[in-house]
Structure 1
């Protein structure tokens, strides 16, 4: 049943409401306000069960429009139709792939960097390919399992992220009234009864190549002609992160000063990072003709498409190397600690790590760039 008293709110009152809560307009229409959202809801009873359906954001949907929609829902109820079921029927042509793409586009402005956005797009297109053509409201547990099982034991971390992203998309679809029932990608109390739990790594670190194998590995890597091989060489010689290399742009490079300046918005610590370029790192860059030094440094096509986030990992796999791309930062750190006398602060700054405690206060005025030049030159010499 819905309240008979209609139009309790006014546009002025709606604009003035700041405190979290539910505010009734009457006839089942409510304004819901919390710390992050202002949205319209329609509440009703169907066969003795209380239900609610979202109408839209109060930031973009006026009170008048929300009342029109609530009136449509009351008319459906009067003719024995469930508003939520009717909405799902009207949206039957929406596929999981279409909705997933729209979800990424909607959420991407709130995500930290381009790498995170690219990861979402890749998992929801490449790995979730088997369910992209399925109708959103018909997706069930068997469909989710068909996507997850091929990857669950082989690449468990990737599979778990995929599961979580499918779960997020389906949760959003339910919030928008495009699905009913439980989320088939939910782990606790559902998929945890159907899939084995991930085994935690004993070390809790990315697998790293022992630094005493670096010379042999780099020699083999230099024989590979692929762009991914050059990107991996550059990553190793600069001790950079994957995203920093994949999104590296020629505008960030000063070949005369031999510096790579990574802007703050691409750094994990959100601070600009200056990377000294050794002879070996510089040689990788100048191999590109001067006329082609625009846009992305490492790209897979002439259309400025960055390398896939899996490109370097797949290269390692083809080479039979049991290590991760990120693990080369550990290889560098182990080498620096065990074979050199460079101070800890210099090594940590080379990795763009935040230095905690008193050391941070002592070194925050500079980035020890000159000392890091010596460190990276020594690392390049060791690798060659």
Structure 2
């Protein structure tokens, strides 16, 4: 990749607030948004909508993981908007599908790896490679031409400030923060209403990790409570009672679990050895007696994870971990309490449950990107 095309994310520290992050990150956000959609005015609106959503969730975003949340919000907002528009036959970057263009922007403009792109889009690394291959083919298969098109599009930024209107960004930022606070209040009200409607007043994941807003002054490690996940080493075939009504056990090729509704189920590790070596984690909700049991596989790690955290509706809970003797680099995580139907439905307003795996240093080593 041509390093001159790389858009650098703003420096951030444990005490950075939303306003400071937004001011530092706005030029980079507008640049990426412009490459995604190709229109300066639409790019400016895309950035504003993204910042509103980020502001609404700011207190719950780990400070060392802000970049991922902002990038994911920007890309997903773009894909939603593109899906609502009618397709128009165009040339150059405009000839790409919205998803192909997003993949190529993240790979060749922001310099992300396939795993990071797959986590952002919520798809497999194989799907990312497919989108990239087809998108590049649509442009004649010439990576140099692609970089040239990106550079030409980026040049539009020199005159793009007019799209922000004559209102200084400092003034706009106040409106963004107000809209973000209103959106946060509205989301809280929606979740409460859904839970009350379905008569599910139980607390989300009744564990010691519930609660706490994760204020803006916390570091990433502090925001996720970098203690450790309960890790249990088991023998192949040894059954573990994960939650009432659910048994889980491991064999050399993957995860097994059994419920009254679905006995002897199985989820295999990635069969491709290359994919298995790349860090990844899956998440799957399993119905159990009117609620849902969340679990999945993690793999591609050089050591057992220090923390596996499940995020639903902006709240976090520490997952339990099962692994085979010898630290094979993969294992099973599960949430130690069931999730009600109302809570699961409400979580999909935000894209569904997310699982994040941290190493001993508090660094994110894997993040869920879809069911497994």
TM range (shorter): under 0.3
Higher relative contact order (CA 8 A, sep 6+): 2
Rg larger for: 1
TM-score by length of structure 2 reads 0.24
Indicate the structure with greater helix content: 1
TM-score by length of structure 1 reads 0.23
Indicate the structure with greater strand content: 2
